[in-house]
Structures are given as structure tokens and as C-alpha cells.
Amino acid sequence: MSEHMNAQVTVTLPDGESRSFPAGVTGYDIAQSIGKKLAKDALAVTVNGTATDLNLPITEDARIEIVTFDHPLGKEIFWHSASHILAQAVEELFPGSRFGAGPAIEQGFYYDIASPHRFTETDLELIEQKMLEIGRRAITVRREEMPREQAIEFFSTKREDPYKVEILQDTLKDTPRVSIYHQGDFADLCSGPHLPDTSKLRAVKLTNISASFWRGDPSRETMQRIYGIAFPSEKLLKKHLAALEEAKKRDHRKLGAELGLFMLSQDVGSGLPIWLPKGAIVRSELETFLKEEQKKRGYVPVYTPHIGNIELYKRSGHYPYYSDSQFPPLTYTDDLGREEQYLLKPMNCPHHHLIYSSELRSYRDLPLRLTEFGTVYRHEQSGELNGLVRARGFTQDDSHIYCRPDQLVDEICNAIDLTRFVFATLGFDDIQVRLSLHDPDNPGKYGGTGDVWEQAEKDVREAAERMNIEYVVGIGEASFYGPKIDFIVRDALGRKWQLGTVQVDYVMPERFDLSYIGPDGQPHRPIIIHRAPFGSMERFIGVLIEHTAGNFPLWLAPVQVAVLPITEDAHEYAASVRDLLHREGIRVKLDTRSEKIGKKIREAEVSKVPYMVIIGQKEREDGTVSLRRHRQGDVGTMTLDQLKEKLFTEITEKS
């Protein structure tokens, strides 16, 4: 026993410093040794990259990192713990309630609840107060591990919770031991980690009540889903609520309608946006921008149909891998009674692979970079649809690069460079990169062999490190055919959006029997890189609208210049200015209404036109214009040549 008590462990901190502690030291002990403030803010600890409870003993040498609210894992852990506090509050206020799932989500948490009580907005305020009270009680959160059968007994008899019993008997049927988190008289089945006690929760706002189905199955019982957000301080909550108000103003659906960019119509169908003339300009300019850049980098365009034979997607694996999110097959019987089935195209990839295999390829032909703005279709659940950012029909800036093994890392780096260039041009400068890898404990989810996955993941790591990219790792986030480098941008309101992606694929060349003739005269397998800087045009533009609040840069703006004559005497000269700019390719609008100039300016500001050319008697006589910039005010008086030069410079530089 004395030998165990004298045992030491060495922990390595994120800055590389190593420290020795007695075996059994906790994350909280380590945080205290570093500083009182860190110990006060600590929520959990990562041990060799795995998040765990702050009070669990560390018995072996390890790399550790203290998790605070600002840590990449901090909010998820905090909000998951808040969902447990929500459940405890509901249980205390409304006895007889039972609980389904209560995860952390991107902005907060929710819990699905089966209760004889019908929750109302007034109840939310009552539950908030109870949650804060539970926080003030500083209830210790305790983890208990037990055999699965014992947990079934616990939730069958002591908790009388059929939902947890079903999870244990179904989802976790192959898991021999599970964990339960105790919080006073409340207990929940959970893998954790959780806050050390409830005192960390000092501010909460329950935001919404909606209906849900148990396990997402419409044939199962209906539950009540309560959404919320929580923080360790009232200040952070107020900041978040202010950001929500700003987000409402920036909502791309609201701005899309106000600015005449796109429309959504039930006559067409849910999730199928229609681009209006102004929105079509924005989309066209983005496509032209990327097409020109791709041309410089050796891409060649192709076009493929909107539907394809179902056998093609079975061959690729998209059907049945993604059958739940695809529209039902279209069945066709020809004049001879032969039946065929077609799918609305879920992915462009299989079509491009057929283009590659349509002729014999030499090692000298590679890399071959095929690119297409191809529209695809997914049958998203109606409750998940969200304007442009979650649609059922959307266009991907898809490219598939077919290359030799010796070219692979260079091509991945080139795709990363293009993606970075796109984001920088559009004003996204806060970007997180995630290496999305496969989950070795769930091999049935993926195609290909373990050796193939090991090599593919080695390739993406090498490329990321060569490009000096700081990245996080997402286990289980890979596509079914290969690992991904995902680009997650943070917008002007601090929200995260996954947009561009670069993926390595060793699986599809096998499935489609793709080959090239090497210098040895023998066939060899190419490797495929799937690459989409925008990701989805619809999603990207939706995010861009909210990021810019609809204030597009000059080169993207549907109307770039509004010519505003002050008096009727200036109309003829104003029309000549309009015609001059139009001939030069500027998107210009002339406003000759008999309104006061102040109103014309205000309406141009509301329409978010980047520049206003004000023309009065003096400008007409001098052959000049008075220039005004949206949101900035007067720029000054200048000649027409100076005006053209200024506009062309800003458009060309995409500043």
C-alpha cells in the first residue's frame, strides 16, 4: 500500500511543461497547482485528448489540458450539464415526467420530455428559476459506472424510466458497462463528462418549446422538447441575447426577401429556393469568380444530368448509405415493359467517375481536375429546413481530382490553398480546420479496408502540416469513403458554419475500377480528391448574407451604383452618367422619381447599394459627380474618369 501511495504520475501541459503529482491526482488538483483562477473556471479536463470529469483520478502519465468555458469543448460540456439541470428542475416541478435525449447542440441544449403536463411559456420562466436555484445549491455531480444489466434494473425500478431502459436494451446492447450521473436525487444515463457541481450555472434562458418524436420516429410517442442556453455568468448571457437580436436582423430569409434575392414558395415545394434576378447576379458573380480561379489552376468543366439510374448510386454506395436522406426512386417502364429506377442526383461524384473511365488514361494525363456546379437533391426532414442554409435542392461547386500517389499530397495542398483564397476574398478570416477521421470502433459505417483508411488519414495529416494548418480532430466525422479536411468559418456574430471541404478517397477508384497506365505499361489505381470550397452555393450565400448583413462588397452587389439626380434639370446628365457606367459593365440604376434627394438616399441605403452618385446643377455644369458610400457618407466630388477608376479598382481587387 505504501508503494501505491508513493507512486507518481507525470502530466504534460499544453505548453509542453511536465509536472509530477501523486498518482490519483485530479484535474481540479492540477488546475489549483497552476492558479486559483484556472481552478475556479475549470469545467473538465482532457487526458490524452479525451475529455473526462474534473474530479476523476489520473493514475498514469498523461497529456492533460484543463477545459474552461472558452475551450473548444467547454461549451458542449457546460450545455450538456445544463440539460441535466433542466431535467432535474422539471422533475422537481412536474413529478411523473420522464426523459428521452438531452444533448448539447451548437447554440445551447435541449431535452425531450414525456410529461402529463403541457408546458407553456410561463412554465419556462418557472423552470429557469428552479434551474438557478439548483445552481445555488452547488449539488455535487457524481459519476457511477456499473454493468449494463444493473443499469437496466436501476432505471426499471428506482427511476421507472422506460426510455433509458430502451436505450440500454437497444442502442447500448453490446456495451458491457455504462455510466450514470447522479445529481442530488436526480440521475441520468450518460457517458459524460459533466461539471463537477451545479454551482457553475449562474445564468440560463429557456428559449423555445416544440414537439418531437421519441428517437426521431414519427410512429413513436410525441414528446415535448425544451430548448435553452446557459452560461457561467449573467454578462455572457446578456451578450448572447444581444447577439440573437442582431442575428434576427441579419436572418438571410428576412434579408433575402427585403433585398429581392430569393424566394421560397410552397407552390414549388419546401426546401427548393428560387433565385430572383438580384440573387441570381450574386450567385453568378460567385460562380464566375471561382470558375476563373479554377481555370488558372488547371480545372476543366463538365456538366452532368440531374437524375441517374439507381444502379449507379448503388455502385458508388450513396444508395443505400444515404437512403434516408434521398428522394424515393423514380420508377419508369418503357414501351417493352422493362422497368428501370432513377434517383434525383444525391451526389455529383459517380457521374464524374464515369467521365474519367470513358477513355484510357496515362500517368502523363494526371492529375485530371474535373469541376462542375452541379445541382443535387436531398430529402431533408421538414423540421430541419432553413432557407438557403438547409435546402432540399442545392448546387455544389464540386470537383474531383484524379491523381497518382506521388501527386496526392501536392494536390491536397493546392485544394487547401484554393479554399483559403476563396474564404479570404469573401471576408471570412476566422477559420477552424477539422480533420474528420473515421471511427475504428464502427467499421461498418465505412467503405474500404483498414489499411486504406490508415494511408488516407496519413495523407490528410501530412498535407495539413505542410500547409501549417492548426487543426482539431473529429473522430467519426469522416465520409463513408474517406477522411476530410473540413473548413469551419466563424461569422461576424461568432457563429460557426461548416462550408468548404477537401476529401481523400481510395474507395471509389476500386468500386468504379478506375485506372491509368503507368510508365511500366501496367494499369494502376488513381486516388480521388473531392473538393468544394463553397460547399453548397445556397448555404454559402445564406451564410454570406448573414455575415455581411446583406452589405455585399462592390463586386458582388446586385446594384453597384445608384445615380440620384437632385432636380429634373439634372435628369439628362444623370442618364448620360448611367449610360456611361452601364457601357463599362457597371450594374447601375437611375432614380428619376420626383422625390426629395434625402428620400432617394435613404432608400438606396436601405437597399444596401454600395455607391450613390449624387447629381445636382453644379455637377451637371462641371461634368462631375458627388459620390456617396453606403454606411459611410460623402466621399467627395470627382470627374467621370476618376469615378470609373475608383469603381474598377475596387471591383478588380475585390476589396
Distance CA 647, CA 654 (A): 10
- Read off φ and ψ for residue 399, nearest 5 degrees: -145, 145
Catalytic pick among 484, 531, 600, 630 = 484
Q: Which residues pair with 395 in a beta bridge?
A: 375
Whether 156 and 134 have beta carbons less than 8 Å apart is answered as: no
Q: What DSSP string runs through 605-633?
A: HHTT-SEEEEE-HHHHHHTEEEEEETTTE
Distance CA 143, CA 195 (A): 11
In this structure, how many other beta carbons lie within 10 angstroms of the beta carbon of residue 159? 20
Q: Which residues contact 241 (CB under 8 A, 6 or more apart)?
A: 205
494, with CB counted inside 10 A (0-12, 13-18, 19+), is: exposed
Strand, coil or helix: 636: strand
* Strand arrangement of the beta sheet that strand 44-47 belongs to: 18-22, 8-12, 62-67, 44-47, 50-53
Which alpha helices (DSSP H) does 401-521 contain, by range?
A: 408-425, 450-466, 508-511
Q: State the cell numbers at 551.
A: 452589405
Distances 348 to 312, 391, 532 between C-alpha atoms, Å: 11, 17, 11
Distance CA 301, CA 466 (A): 28
Q: Specify the DSSP class assigned to residue 85.
A: H
Distance CA 254, CA 263 (A): 10
Q: Smallest Cα–Cα separation from 271: which of 380, 157, 348, 187?
A: 380
190 in active site: no
Q: Which residues contribute to the annotated binding site? A: 349, 400, 530
* Host H or E run for residue 242: helix 234-250
* Host H or E run for residue 19: strand 18-22
Q: Specify the DSSP class assigned to residue 157.
A: I
Catalytic pick among 400, 438, 539, 608 = 400
398 in active site: yes
438 in active site: no
Catalytic pick among 224, 326, 396, 560 = 396
Q: Cell numbers 455637377 correspond to what residue?
A: 619
Distance CA 131, CA 244 (A): 22
Find the largest Cα–Cα distance for the chain. 101
Q: State the cell numbers at 28.
A: 481540479
Q: Smallest Cα–Cα separation from 347: which of 315, 318, 384?
A: 318
378 in active site: yes
Distance CA 558, CA 587 (A): 7
Q: Which residues contribute to the annotated binding site for Zn(2+)? A: 349, 400, 530
Distance CA 439, CA 443 (A): 7
Catalytic pick among 112, 398, 486, 491 = 398
Q: State the cell numbers at 130.
A: 428552479
**Sign of CA pseudo-dihedral 79, 84, 85, 89:** positive
Q: Which residues are catalytic?
A: 349, 378, 396, 398, 400, 484, 530
